[in-house]
Amino acid sequence: MRILIAEDDEVLADGLCHSMRQSGYAVDCVKDGLAANLILSGEQPFDLVILDLGLPKVDGFSVLRSLRENNRQVPVIILTARDAEGDRVKGLDLGADDYMIKPFSLPELEARVRALIRRGQCGVNPVYTCGTLTFDSVGRRAAISGTTLELTTREMSVLEALMLRTGWVVSKEQLLERLYSYAEEASNNAIEVYIHRLRKKIEPAGVTIRTIRGLGYVIGSLPS
């Protein structure tokens, strides 16, 4: 899952990016509203936006208004020092899904992120199954026959991308988009390393990842 953080405080932005990446999300970060508008109007979909109101160039209210006017329904958490009731009302009326005042509790923010992602999956089973392997996309937990599988953050993201499309080809480009932000350097070789590690860990569940040459990878049950 991919998150956009629009925050001009460099220290806070770095801390948020680190926290969200540790939780297994791919994270992009911009430091002004103009850049936020540009990236949100592109083809890359986001699962959540964390938005500061006091952004330079274009403020957060304008970013949010543009997002909703373009019918983009991605969940938005406003994160701001503005605690006036009028600002909270305006933000929610413009289409924000949540509003947090700085300073804030990082564990609480992480819980609200999970809650919004869970809400966005309302009506969709967030637990995906292949053989005896299960993946909880909200709780970020993989298990074999109920026993938690020890995975790195990157391995978890690759497994998630594959299990969301069990039986279908997932290209290396799609995997790279899930794992890395625009600012990070990535290579196809890195994907091959994660696939190799995952294969060893999930084969006890009766699951394999097949390579479809020139196209990508498919996860599925091993033939009985």
Write out pLDDT tens, residues 148-199.
999 988 898 899 889 888 888 988 888 887 777 665 666 668 889 999 999 9
Q: In this predicted structure, what is the pLDDT of residue 148?
A: 92
Which class in CATH covers the domain with range 2-120?
A: alpha beta
> Given a cut of 60, is residue 64 above it in pLDDT?
yes
DSSP state of 153: H
The three-class DSSP label of residue 211 is strand
> Given a cut of 90, is residue 78 above it in pLDDT?
yes
Query: Residues 6 or more apart from 58 whose CB is under 8 A from it?
Result: 32, 33, 34, 36, 37
Q: In this predicted structure, what is the pLDDT of residue 136?
A: 86
> Given a cut of 60, is residue 82 above it in pLDDT?
yes
CATH assignment, 127-221: 1.10.10.10
User: What residues pair up with 218 in beta bridges, in sequence order?
Assistant: 210
DSSP state of 205: G
> Given a cut of 90, is residue 217 above it in pLDDT?
yes
Q: In this predicted structure, what is the pLDDT of residue 172?
A: 86
Q: Where in the sequence of the chain do the CATH 1.10.10.10 domains occur?
A: 127-221
How does residue 202 score in pLDDT terms, banded at 50, 70 and 90?
very high
Q: In this predicted structure, what is the pLDDT of residue 188?
A: 65
72 vs 224 pLDDT, higher one? 72
Query: What are the DSSP E strand ranges found in the chain?
Result: 2-6, 26-30, 48-51, 76-80, 98-101, 127-130, 133-136, 141-144, 147-148, 207-212, 216-221
Summarize pLDDT for 99-158 with one digit per residue, the tens. Answer: 999 988 898 998 898 888 777 655 455 788 888 999 987 778 899 998 999 998 889 889
Query: Residues 6 or more apart from 194 whose CB is under 8 A from it?
Result: 154, 155, 158
Q: In this predicted structure, what is the pLDDT of residue 123?
A: 46
Q: Where in the sequence of the chain do the CATH 3.40.50.2300 domains occur?
A: 2-120
